[in-house]
Amino acid sequence: MKRITAGALAAAVGASVLLISGPAYADRRTDLKVDLTKIEPNPVQVKRGEATSVTFDVVSKGAARVEVSLKPLGRKYVRFTPKVANAAPAGNGAAAQAKEEEEARQTGRPGDGRRGHGRPDLKPDLTRFVAQFTAKDPAGKWLATAVAFDRSGKKVSDAETFTVELVKTKFGTKIVEFGAYPNKVRKGKPVFLRGRLIAEDKRVKGYADQEVDILYRKDGRARWRKLGEAETNRFGVFRASVKAYSSGQYKAVFAGNDDANPSESDVVRVRVKRGFHHFHR
């Protein structure tokens, strides 16, 4: 997490996500302060079809209002359309501990929140902001800017950078409707194999122009033997034929690729007399 100077902040300020906290206790006798203490997770890893929650912890003092804005860095995002999310108050545990640590740092001692002559002092206020990131958000460096305002309109800011990464995920596949016809055949006669490869990418559809391996295992054997390949048409359907010379089992296997996960069909059995295979597409 890299801190940004005031000059760099002025050049990069803008919002794609705007988060606004509720009013915090303010007092004119104290200085207005804000500190963006933590961004978690960082880097933000986003998967296709999923949303990733990111929290931004902001410690403020003397603020009537605190805002956090998020914007991707780069010239092409100058007109990036803002979106708004709700701020969530930090809960107990780590958040409470952070608040106590900030109070001790501000006052020089952990105390009861009172000054030297019995005058009340402002305790630091810790607010947690939450934003959702999806694959539609630009990958790369982002700027998070926390701005605190007092009741007179005075404001101070703090900024940090973080990174958004798009994690490439593969979609699932299935081989369905796989069958061998006929399932009883005389020695040397053809067996016709047919199935359909489907892709589960946003919606279920046939996966076209893919190679599917046809495998055979002789009855009583453990090892599968590849007979050849079949190619899917625009509906994901593939067909092949073999001459059967011995009883055994058949299955279709899709090896997968850069975009899709592998899959295999159910096993079907054909009963024939003993012999060898000749593969025909």
Residue 81 has pLDDT above 80, yes or no: no
Residue 168, pLDDT score: 84
pTM, whole model, 2 decimals? 0.54
Residue 278 has pLDDT above 60, yes or no: no
**Radius of gyration from C-alpha coordinates of the chain:** 32
Locus of tokens 């003397």? 62
Residue 175 has pLDDT above 70, yes or no: yes
> Which band of pLDDT confidence, cut at 50, 70 and 90, is reported for residue 108?
low
Last-in-domain residue among 167, 200, 226 = 167
CATH for 254: 2.60.40.730
Q: Are residues 48 and 157 in the same domain?
A: yes
Cis amide prior to 41 (ω within 30 degrees): yes
Q: pLDDT tens digits for 216-255?
A: 999 989 999 999 999 999 999 999 999 988 999 999 999 9
| Least confident interval from 51-60, 185-194, 222-231, 267-276 | 267-276
Minimal CA–CA distance to 27: which of 104, 115, 127?
Answer: 115
| Least confident interval from 10-24, 124-138, 176-190, 258-272 | 10-24
Residue 12 has pLDDT above 50, yes or no: no
Q: Are residues 150 and 181 in the same domain?
A: no
Q: Are residues 90 and 217 in the same domain?
A: no
| Least confident interval from 21-30, 36-45, 47-56, 145-154 | 21-30
Q: Are residues 86 and 195 in the same domain?
A: no
Last-in-domain residue among 146, 167, 188 = 167
Q: Which residues contact 179 (CB under 8 A, 6 or more apart)?
A: 193, 194, 195, 268
Residue 2 has pLDDT above 90, yes or no: no
75 secondary structure, DSSP code: G
Q: Are residues 144 and 265 in the same domain?
A: no
Residue 181 has pLDDT above 50, yes or no: yes
Residue 109, pLDDT score: 54
> Which band of pLDDT confidence, cut at 50, 70 and 90, is reported for residue 39?
very high
Beta bridge partners of 200: 172, 204
Residue 161, pLDDT score: 94
> Which band of pLDDT confidence, cut at 50, 70 and 90, is reported for residue 65?
confident
Q: pLDDT tens digits for 85-105?
A: 456 754 444 445 555 655 665
Q: Are residues 177 and 160 in the same domain?
A: no
Contact between residue 56 and residue 168 where contact means Cβ atoms under 8 Å apart: no
Q: Are residues 223 and 108 in the same domain?
A: no
> Which band of pLDDT confidence, cut at 50, 70 and 90, is reported for residue 203?
confident
Residue 21 has pLDDT above 80, yes or no: no
Last-in-domain residue among 139, 167, 195 = 167
Q: In total, how many domains does the chain have?
A: 2
Residue 3, pLDDT score: 54
Q: Are residues 38 and 130 in the same domain?
A: yes
Q: Are residues 144 and 216 in the same domain?
A: no
> Which band of pLDDT confidence, cut at 50, 70 and 90, is reported for residue 162?
very high
> Which band of pLDDT confidence, cut at 50, 70 and 90, is reported for residue 201?
confident
| 107 membership: H or E segment, kind and range | helix 94-107
Domain that holds residue 54: 2-167
Residue 281, pLDDT score: 55
Q: Are residues 222 and 119 in the same domain?
A: no
Contact between residue 31 and residue 90 where contact means Cβ atoms under 8 Å apart: no
Q: Are residues 239 and 117 in the same domain?
A: no
Residue 8, pLDDT score: 46
Q: Are residues 20 and 70 in the same domain?
A: yes
